Structure formats: structure tokens, C-alpha cells
Amino acid sequence: MRNLSIIVITLGFAVAAAACGGPAKGANAPTGNGGTVGKVNAEGKHAKQAPTRRVSKDAKKDFMEAVAADKKAQVDGWTQDECNDVAAKWDDVASEHPKLVEARYNAGLAYHQCGMLGKAETEYKKALSIVGSHAPSISNIGEIRFARGDVNGAKAQWELALKADSKLVAARNNLAWLLLDQLRTTKNRSTWKRIEKEARDQLSSVLAVDQSNYKAYVLYGLVYLEGSERNKNRLDLSKLLLDEAKKHNPDYPPLQNAYGLLYLRRNSQGRALEKFSKAVELDPDFLEARMNVGNITLNFRKYDVAEQQFSYVLKKQPKNYDALIGLGIAERGLGKIDEAEKNYVAAKRADSRRPEAYYNLGVLYKDFRANKASDLQGSISMYEKAKQYFSQFLTKQGIATDDKEEAKDNIHDCDKTVKQIRDAIKAMQAANQPDDAAK
């Protein structure tokens, strides 16, 4: 679940802003380029104070009753019923005291807890109709836009939130995450350096406001993981930052996931798996960590474990390309050839531009189906199908040179094997012909 924090009214009746939040989702494979922090959210801690207002005793009483209900739900766990009930309590407060922007905002947070994004957005917009510059509401609408796949819209909201309140750390963390995501795909060195500096500047601003912001430390650590292939000293800096986050919240799932990525960069897959598994234990719905567990267990040939992890991800994200490929590989390792092919085909449908599905289908036909064919002509058909998939693989963009060479070698092997089979068939046919001399 998101780490959401309600807005409260202090004894001086000033507004203390807090919002939902943390870093956003990123790459999902446990490789040097991969890893994620977790779900987008915002902390909003130590945000700018609004002018002190007078609040009636009735308003304060109603407000604190809703606060108590909200805190109880946090302890009990946010279920759909809890979210609706708490939101209703905040709505009652907001209806009775229409100038309390915090009540309307907190109603949005209650819906946000259970992923009721439409209702949450409605409440945030109502909050903005009370105070147009209410930064936490602006920022959380950005989170909703991000969840809907509108990255540019989310970015615009977070930038707007910072114009309203430059100390809203949630928005800075989320913008830093977007920069980190850019960093991972940027090849140009001067552009890479500019983006890295922007990310570090955002995170430094967060820590200047809140030195205990463990989410910022985790993001900072991930920033330093990037580029470590060129400068190994960055790994030490990354660990220092992650260790600082650990002091403040050792059970933060994205921290454990980040440690896993650090150990992967240090070529310690066993320790990486331990950290990824810990992240999943802390948050079973942390899908990026599950992907990382699945990919490492594939390397260890623990196909049953990998199958469980990828299957869980696909229940939540049926069109997750990498999970479909990972599950196919796990099933292939378990001898479930038909199931593996179905998942590769599903991945191909999900994104026909990516090459992995074509390559794995080629391997499936060449190394598995061809060997299980009932006759030699059937084997030839399987090898021809494999060759077709490898050839399609070579038409895709962004394929590494080594992978291209491997695909070409597979095509050559298919051609060579088909020729050998055809020669064998001819020899068998010749051996079965009547001997003219015997006639």
C-alpha cells in the first residue's frame, strides 16, 4: 500500500501539508540497468505553512473524530469498506465546514488508499476549488495521472505543485524518479550528466528540508548506481546513501530492492536474491521486486519459484511483457512447452516491436519441439518454424551485436540440421528401393 498521510490541523490551527507518496515505478529486470523504487507517492512533509486561521470548536471536534477514524484504519489495514467509511467521515466534515480544505483533501486520500482514483481525483479537485494553490492536491492529481500512464501530465502537475510550495518533498522525489528513469535510457554523455545533476539537485533539495526522508536517500542511491560500470566508486557512494535510508526505515520495501540492485552490480546474485525476496516479504504486491526474484531464480534454474513470481505479477498486470517472457522461460524449464509457447505468443501480441518473444519462440521450436516431433518431416517443419522466428528477431530494433550473432548461428544450425535430415531421408529411401541387379 501507499504510505499516505492525512493533513492535520495543528493546535495553532495552521495547515500542515502531507500527501501520498514516494518514488515511481521503473525497470523491472534485475540487471545492471534495472530496478525500481516502488509506487509513486508523495510525502509532503515539512511543507510550507499557510496563514493561521480561526477554526470553530465544532469544526475541530468533527475534524478530530475523522482523524481518529483515519488512524484506526491505518492500524486495521485499508480495506475497500474502510476506505469508503473514512472518506465518508471526511466528506461529512467537509460538508459541515466547507472552508476546511484539509477535510476535502483527506477524503481524497482515503479513496486513494484503495486505488479508487476517480473518486480521489474528484475530492482533490474539490479541495482545489477551496484553495486553488493547495500543493498536496495538485501533487496527488499528478500521481493519479502517472498511474493512468500520463507521465507528461504527472510531471506537469508535480512542477505546478512545487510552484505552489517549493518545499513539498513528495513532488521533488517523484520528479527525481522521472529523471532517474531518463538516466537509465540516455546514451549521450553530456545529456546523461545534465540529467544526473538535475536528479541530484532535486534530492538534495528534499534532504535540505527533511534530513530523515528515507525515500530520497533510496532514490539518491539508485542515481549513483547508474554509471557505476564506468566508475566503481559510485557503488560505494550508493551504499552509503542506502545505509542512511536504512537508519530511518529498514523495512521500507524499495530500500531492500535497491540493495538487491547494488549487490547485482557487485556480482553477488545470492545476496541480491536475499534482498529482493525481503522486499517481496515486506510488500507482497511489490511487483518490481517479484520480477527481480523471478529473473534471478531463472538464472539459478529454480524454475518453480520463478513460475510463482511471474504468475503473481501477471495476475495484477496481464500484459506485462517481461513477466510473460519470464513465465515462458520458467515453464519451458519445467517441460511445459505448450504453456511456454502461449506466453511467448501473448508477449508478441502485447508488444510486437520487442524482440525477446521471437527469439524465445525460435529456441522453443529449435531445441524442444523439433526434438519431440513424431517423424523426420515433422522435425524439418519445426526447424523451419524456428528459423522463421530467428529471422523475425533480426528485423527488430536495438538488438545487441552478440545477440544478432547468436541468432544467425541458430539459423545456420537450423539449415545445417535440416540438410542432414533431408540427406538421411534420401538415404533411407534409396536403401528401400528394389535392387535392379537382383531383378
- 157-196 confidence digits (pLDDT tens): 999 999 999 999 999 999 999 999 999 999 999 999 999 9
CATH code (residue 393) = 1.20.58
Kindly report, residue by residue over 34-54, the tens digit of the pLDDT. Answer: 333 333 333 333 344 444 556
pLDDT tens column, 196-217: 999 999 999 999 999 999 999 9
Q: Is the model's pLDDT at 2 over the cut of 70?
A: no
How many domains does one find in the chain?
A: 1
Residue 164 lies in a domain: no
Task: Answer yes or no: is 335 within a domain.
Answer: no
Residues 6 or more apart whose CB falls under 8 angstroms from that of 129 comprise none
Q: Which residues form the domain of 389?
A: 352-434
pLDDT at residue number 52: 52
Mean pLDDT score across all residues of the chain: 87
- Dihedral through CA 287, CA 290, CA 292, CA 298, nearest 10? -140
> What values do phi and psi take at 331, rounded to 5?
-65, -40
- Tell me, yes or no, whether 396 lies in a domain: yes
Would you say residue 347 lies in a domain?
Answer: no
Q: Is residue 306 included in any domain, yes or no?
A: no
Give pLDDT, residue 3.
39
Give the span between the Cα atoms of 341 and 362, in whole angstroms.
10
Q: CA-based angle 356:348:293, to the nearest 5?
A: 55
> For residues 294 and 343, is the Cβ–Cβ distance under 8 A?
no
